Homo-oligomer: A and B are copies of this chain.
Amino acid sequence: MKLDSAGLEILARSACLDLLASTPIGRIVFTDHALPAVQPVNFSLLDGEIVIRTGIGSKLAAAVANSIVAFEADEFDPVRRTGWSVAAVGHARVASDPGEIDRLSRLPLTPWAPGTRDHFIVMAPEQLSGRRITS
């Protein structure tokens, strides 16, 4: 088991992807009017890319299109004080190819929030890192 300087277990890329696939909610981190911003989203993985569904003309799509964003998911157990987190950094784009949109529409990715959400933000993790706290 490889530990970082804070004593946390360093997770391999494959473990990071497995953990991301295990949870429906993550947080996208971006810059909004020159300030750091963060928004929870439900997401899905497709071919190692993170896919987020959003509304047409959403502030999120406008803020993240063609920019470098971070994405984070985690799960913690407050009683046992264990848990994991995975963070990805990469270039976000709004899907525009009709074939790709059709393919993304078939993902099991139903937004929890109300409203029509027919746009997809896709992020390819260029950096992917994960940590686990073991008891």
Q: Which residues of A contact B (CB under 8 A)?
A: 6-8, 24-25, 27, 29-31, 35-40, 55, 58, 68-70, 72, 74, 76, 78, 81-83, 85, 87, 89, 112-115, 127, 133
Contact = CB atoms under 8 A, between A and B. Distances in A.
A28 to B, nearest CB: 9
A82 B72 CA distance: 20
A89 B78 CA distance: 25
A69 B36 contact: yes
Given A29-B29, A38-B38, A40-B72, 7 more contacts: A7-B114, A8-B113, A29-B37, A35-B89, A36-B70, A37-B70, A38-B87
A53 to B, nearest CB: 12
